[in-house]
Amino acid sequence: MLKVFLGCLLFFAVFMIMMAAGIIFSNKQLKGSCGGMLLDENGNDTTGSCGICGRPAEEIKLQGCD
């Protein structure tokens, strides 16, 4: 049982290291999502502007999140 646990732990550790290396070597900056807080599940505006960046909802719908 301990061998299975350690094998799974090693597998996930290697997988996480590979994901981190992919981010580092892709040379892209991590960025947050914008617009998810102001749209409901149908994509309809609920507040008028994004609570994170302040952009109007229509602009986010047309241009997408940065």
Each residue's pLDDT tens digit, 6-63: 999 999 999 999 999 988 888 876 666 664 555 566 666 566 666 667 777 677 666 6
CA separation for the pair 27, 22 (Å, rounded):
9
What was the pLDDT predicted at 33?
62
What was the pLDDT predicted at 38?
56
What was the pLDDT predicted at 32?
60
What was the pLDDT predicted at 60?
67
Nearest alpha carbon to residue 53 among 35, 41, 40, 30: 35
What was the pLDDT predicted at 41?
61
